[in-house]
Amino acid sequence: MELTKLEKAVMIGTFITALGKEELDFCTDEFSLEHLEIELEEILDDCTLKQIMAAGRSGMNKMIQELLEES
């Protein structure tokens, strides 16, 4: 199951919140991080809180199902 762009944005945003922006610096270069922030803002600006919550649940469900299918 492929994650949608919104699901990916929500999942990445959740990881950034949980790990902290400093940890993300180890994963990306400065240009990539700036580009990521712009992209996330563009995606999330057009969504309601309800859509973001639904995308988070859906994305998490897809990741769990995929993990269980691999077992």
When the pLDDT of each residue in the chain is averaged and rounded to a whole number, the result is: 90
- The larger pLDDT score, comparing residue 32 to residue 9, is at 9
Cβ neighbours around 41 below 10 Å, total: 10
Q: What is the pLDDT of residue 50?
A: 98
**Using 50, 70 and 90 to split pLDDT, how confident is the model at 65?**
very high
Given a contact cutoff of 8 angstroms between Cβ atoms, the answer to whether 11 and 56 are in contact is: yes
Domain ranges of the chain: 5-70
**CA geometry: angle 35, 30, 18, nearest 5 deg:** 80
Place of tokens 């919550």: 53
Q: What is the pLDDT of residue 62?
A: 97
- Mean pLDDT calculated for residue range 23-45: 83
